[in-house]
């Protein structure tokens, strides 16, 4: 089994990468807002609607750049999300039931309460379709802002927020797959099962070539796209087939009873070599972290955060539901479920983490940005509805970031000072 310190190192590298990308995400969102409201706004809209693709026999793929980013590149991002979910469930903080209970309960409350608040503002009609928007947490922004609180932030608090966001991402994936799909095409779903089954069989046998997963993933993505289920779900499903153990980790050297000692020694050597070799999942995760953090997510922000000033003034039931759901619903749901879990004896606060620190993290979970904007584009085709959703997401995310940072810093200021 992987040592705990190695898992902590993996998490620290992930935390540093995600936090650094937050600055680029903010810059991309600001660029989109300034660009679309400048005299060059026509070029921004032209870039969004730039048609790319072609026809290759029976395969027809022609989409705007905006759709390629949302349906194509975001599938790669969701593949990375799926890898992180699998790693956390198998060897990370979510692998131990008691440790996993705290972020899992927090994420559950942080999804249910915001959705209920949104429904309270939009109980009927076409606007009710956006209930999934305030359920999401942007892990890059949340961890990036937490990093701004300084080196005094306890490691368990970082782990809690990351694990919460990962469970939140899993919930978002399920919501997208089950509730934000077009008309389902059964034949294409059957076709999608073939590459998924092939990847699963290849992975179960320790297949280590990432190019094989990439090829099968392209087929899976195309069939999912045509099936009506959102194509990004293909990324998560494919990630679950990638082995977490290095190739040969399960190998058992042959030998008779007479050679049991030498077989045991050979097995030990094989396992030592395997433990020092990165697994396919680790290699895929390591290879995709920077492209996702510094290319895919900023491109998504650039394509989706462009909000015209006249649209920014459009405040209604949708924007109110999203804003209140993210800013108040998230921390209330998280803290409420945490209190319930502690009172029932299901879980406990991590060592060195106070309830005030947890409150700061709960506020940071209200930064919906990327995931909330993504679900907004699925929920609303009507431009005025989408504009309202964007206003709610952006306003709530900015205030949640500032509030979470202030609360976290205030809680850290109360820590006893140690003399050098």
CA dihedral 192, 193, 197, 200 (to 10 degrees): 70
Tokens found for residue 36? 């679309």
* pLDDT score of 247: 65
* pLDDT score of 148: 79
* pLDDT score of 267: 47
Tokens found for residue 211? 């190019």
Structural contact between residues 118 and 321, judged by C-beta atoms closer than 8 angstroms:
yes
Structural contact between residues 296 and 77, judged by C-beta atoms closer than 8 angstroms:
yes
Q: Is 189 exposed, middle or buried (0-12, 13-18, 19+ CB in 10 A)?
A: middle
User: Could you say which architecture CATH assigns to the domain 20-251+266-413?
Assistant: Up-down Bundle (1.20)
Report CA Rg, the chain: 23
47 Cβ contact partners less than 8 Å away, ≥ 6 residues apart: 65
- Residue 6's CB is within 10 A of a number of other CB atoms, namely 11
> Coil, strand or helix: which one is 54?
strand
Residuewise pLDDT in 10s, the chain (420 residues)? 455 566 566 555 655 555 567 678 788 888 998 999 999 999 999 999 999 887 777 777 888 999 899 889 989 988 998 898 888 778 876 777 777 889 999 999 999 999 999 999 999 888 999 999 999 888 777 877 887 787 788 888 888 888 888 888 788 888 888 888 767 888 998 999 999 999 999 999 999 999 999 999 999 999 998 888 778 889 989 999 999 987 655 544 444 454 555 545 544 444 444 456 889 999 999 999 889 888 998 898 899 888 887 776 667 899 999 999 999 999 999 999 999 999 998 888 888 889 999 999 999 999 998 889 889 988 998 888 999 999 999 999 999 999 999 999 999 887 655 444
Interatomic CA distance for residues 208 and 279, integer angstroms: 8
Tokens found for residue 132? 């999934």
Q: Residue ranges per domain, the chain?
A: 20-251+266-413
Burial 148-161, CB ≥16 within 10 A → b, else e: ebeeebbebbbbbb
* pLDDT score of 273: 44
* pLDDT score of 205: 93
């Amino acid at each position: 089994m992987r040592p705990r310190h190695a898992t902590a190192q993996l998490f620290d590298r992930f935390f540093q990468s995600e936090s650094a990308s937050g600055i680029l995400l903010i810059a991309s969102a600001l660029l989109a807002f300034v660009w679309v409201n400048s005299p060059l706004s026509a070029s921004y809209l032209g870039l969004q609607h730039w048609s790319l693709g072609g026809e290759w026999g029976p395969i027809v793929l022609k989409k705007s750049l905006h759709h390629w980013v949302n349906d194509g590149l975001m599938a790669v991002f969701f593949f990375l999300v799926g890898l992180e979910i699998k790693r956390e469930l198998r060897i990370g903080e979510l692998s131990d039931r008691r440790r996993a209970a705290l972020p899992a309960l927090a994420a559950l409350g942080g999804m249910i309460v915001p959705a209920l608040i949104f429904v309270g503002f939009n109980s009927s009609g076409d606007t009710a379709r956006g209930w999934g928007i305030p359920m999401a947490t942007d892990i890059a922004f949340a961890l990036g802002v937490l990093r701004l609180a300084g080196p005094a932030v306890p490691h368990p608090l970082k782990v809690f927020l990351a694990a919460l966001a990962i469970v939140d991402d899993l919930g978002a994936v399920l919501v997208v797959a089950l509730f934000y799909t077009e008309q389902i095409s059964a034949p294409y779903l059957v076709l999608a099962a073939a590459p998924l089954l092939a990847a699963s069989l290849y992975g179960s046998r320790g297949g280590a070539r990432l190019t094989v997963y990439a090829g099968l993933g392209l087929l899976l993505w195309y069939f999912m796209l045509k099936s009506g289920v959102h194509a990004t779900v293909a990324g998560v499903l494919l990630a679950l087939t990638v082995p977490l153990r290095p190739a040969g980790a399960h190998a058992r050297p042959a030998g008779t009873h007479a050679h049991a000692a030498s077989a045991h020694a050979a097995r030990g050597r094989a396992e030592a070599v395997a433990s020092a070799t990165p697994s396919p999942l680790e290699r895929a995760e390591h290879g995709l972290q920077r492209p996702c953090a510094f290319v895919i997510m900023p491109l998504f922000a650039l394509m989706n955060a462009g909000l015209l000033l006249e649209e920014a003034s459009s405040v209604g039931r949708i924007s109110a539901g999203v804003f209140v759901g993210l800013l108040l619903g998230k921390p209330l749901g998280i803290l409420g479920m945490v209190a319930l879990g502690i009172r029932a004896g299901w879980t406990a606060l991590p060592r060195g983490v106070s309830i005030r620190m947890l409150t700061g993290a709960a506020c940071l979970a209200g930064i919906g940005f990327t995931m909330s904007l993504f679900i907004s584009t699925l929920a609303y085709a009507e431009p005025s509805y989408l504009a309202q959703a964007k206003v709610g997401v952006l306003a709530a995310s900015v205030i949640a970031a500032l509030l979470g940072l202030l609360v976290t810093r205030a809680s850290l200021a109360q820590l006893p000072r140690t003399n050098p």
